[in-house]
Structure 1
Amino acid sequence: MPQIITAFSEISTQYDVAFVDLWGCIHNGLTPFQDAVAAMKTYRAAGGTVVLVTNSPRPWDSVAKQITDMGVDPDSWDAIATSGDSARAAMYRGIVGQKIWFMGETPRDDDFFKPLSIIENPVDIQKVPLEEAEGIVCCGPFDTQADPAVNRPEFLYAKTKGLKLLCANPDIIVDRGETREWCAGALAALYTEMGGESLYFGKPHPPIYDLARRRYAALPQSMNDPRIIAIGDGIRTDILGGQMEDIDTLFITGGLAAAETKTDIQPDEAALNAYIETEKVTPTYCIGFLR
């Protein structure tokens, strides 16, 4: 079973870099968790590097502005890697074609289609109706409160046409304050279940970790073969992804799994162990909230 800790500082000196999830760890979609922000500032002051690794479908600079406007201190992180940037690069390489049917919220997700200068000869992406599409780009549901099953008719048609779905955010759900919302990962899972092909670029899949390592390597303080820990509240995104990358993990039990782990300030050990046994994913460490 994992070691339950009371503060990140208990283990932080063992790691050069922290790959830190945003939603559920640093903020709740509306306001920052100030203890988490302070912990990351302390870690950086002691020589650690913080790379925010998020399944946001937005470009990294849009996420930086979003969290700064929210009140997250810029001194608490060094770089940002988003599933949106990984997915955008694939889209502009033509992985799902030129004519795409877009699923997401306008204007919130418009930044996904910003030009990407790192791609040579990018595909001229065109948003078209589903009937004219060569593929699907999914940043999220049209309605985050609606059951993903409402998209079954469109997905059946898309599957019949053999369209691939590019998923820009593998998260299934997220909590915005006290409200639970569906994410793009729920739609991609439904499409796969129906026999369609979904392509993923965020946690727990390799592309976003490759991007996070590149973002780290571009920093002046980067080193070869750093000791990395992945921190997050998603057992099947943050923690599973860290395991697949063969890096240690710190599970924040007070996020998505707060009810299952009976987390108030810290998780209930018996409930935590039962949850881990059910999910078949074992973190290296656990803590109620990042602090």
Structure 2
Amino acid sequence: MTQIINTLSEISDRYDALFVDLWGCMHNGIQGFPSAIKAMQEYRERGGIVVLLTNSPKPRAGVAVQLEEFGVPKDTYDTIATSGDSARSAMLRGAVGQKVYFMGDWQRDEGFFEPLSLLENPVNIERVPLAQADGIVCCGPNDPLAHPDTNRADFLYAKTKGMKLLCANPDIEVDRGEVREWCAGALAKLYAEMGGESLYFGKPHPPIYDLARRRLQSLELDIPDRRILAIGDGVLTDIKGAMGEDIDSLFISGGLAASETKTSVQPDETSLRAYLKKEKSNPTFTIGHLR
């Protein structure tokens, strides 16, 4: 059963690298969390490596710019691995065809369609209306406040045409400040439930962990999994993914599950254990907020 801790420093000496989620851990979609920023800076000062591991559909350069806007400084991390980079690579290899129907916010997600110089002979992707598409690229809902069911008619058509849906962000929901929004994962889940085929590249699925390990190797580091700690507030993404990779995990109970775990500063232990039992999740450690 999970061990409740008060600060990251209680356990950080056991690990050479951290795989750290962003939304709900380092920021709330509007501004960075000072205690989390300080914890990462102190961990790095002691020689630890921080890989920001995010289900953002943005390329890592776009995430770095966004972090600056949120007030999360560059000295809090060493490198970034995004669901967007992993999914973009698959798209440019033709995972859902050449002509794609795009779902998301084009102003925000335009970078997803930028070329990848590392790929040989990438597919020339063309954005088209659904009726002309080979497949769907989903970076998020067109309206993040609208229930995913509003897409049922389009999804039924896509399913009958045998289209695959590439999900660039497997998160179901996020809290932007005090407002909860739907993410691409909710749409991909609905499409799969309707009988369509959804392709996932972020947490909890293996491709993004492979990417994170390659990011470590690019720093000329060979860190075994037993010396890596994954940190996140999503039991179905961050913690499930870490469990699947046999990596220790630290659950941030004051994020998505704050109400279920009755977390203000720290979780209510009885509520926490009931929640984890219900979700069939077993993080190595739990803390209210990253600090």
TM-score greater than 0.5 by the shorter chain: yes
- Within the alignment, does 1:10 sit opposite 2:10 as a pair? yes
> Which residue is 1:94 aligned to?
94
- Within the alignment, does 1:252 sit opposite 2:243 as a pair? no
**What's the CA shift for 1:106?**
1.9
> Which residue is 1:138 aligned to?
138
With over 3 angstroms needed to count, the CA separation of the structure-2 counterparts of 1:282 and 1:224, relative to structure 1, is closer
- Stretches (4+) displaced over 6 A: none
Q: How does 1:1-291 map to 2 (within 5 A)?
A: 1-220=1-220, 222-225=221-224, 227-291=227-291
SS at match of 1:229: strand
**What's the CA shift for 1:118?**
1.0
Gaps of 5+ in 2: none
**What's the CA shift for 1:9?**
0.1
Partner Cα distance (1:138, 1:73) in 2: 29
Deviations 1:113-154 (A, max 9, x none): 111111110000000111110000000000000010000000
Quick check: 182-191 or 69-78, which moved more? 69-78
SS at match of 2:53: strand
Equivalent residue letter for 1:158? A
Contact 2:17 2:223 in 1 (8 A): no
Deviations 1:158-178 (A, max 9, x none): 000000000000000000000
With over 3 angstroms needed to count, the CA separation of the structure-2 counterparts of 1:172 and 1:224, relative to structure 1, is closer
The sequence identity of aligned pairs, in percent, is 66
Partner Cα distance (1:241, 1:42) in 2: 26
**What's the CA shift for 1:223?**
2.6
Report how many residues are paired. Answer: 290
Equivalent residue letter for 1:84? G
Partner Cα distance (1:4, 1:145) in 2: 34
Partner Cα distance (2:126, 2:246) in 1: 39
For the aligned residue pairs, the C-alpha RMSD in angstroms reads 0.7
SS at match of 1:286: strand
Partner Cα distance (1:253, 1:108) in 2: 29
Equivalent residue letter for 1:177? G
SS at match of 2:107: coil
Partner Cα distance (1:183, 1:70) in 2: 20
Gaps of 5+ in 1: none
Partner Cα distance (1:69, 1:153) in 2: 37
Partner Cα distance (2:91, 2:222) in 1: 31
Partner Cα distance (2:222, 2:157) in 1: 49
SS at match of 1:58: coil
- The normalised TM-score by structure 1 is 0.99
Partner Cα distance (2:51, 2:202) in 1: 14
- The normalised TM-score by structure 2 is 0.99
Partner Cα distance (1:203, 1:209) in 2: 8
**What's the CA shift for 1:192?**
0.3
**What's the CA shift for 1:155?**
0.2
Partner Cα distance (1:64, 1:213) in 2: 19
Contact 2:55 2:170 in 1 (8 A): yes
Partner Cα distance (2:274, 2:193) in 1: 27
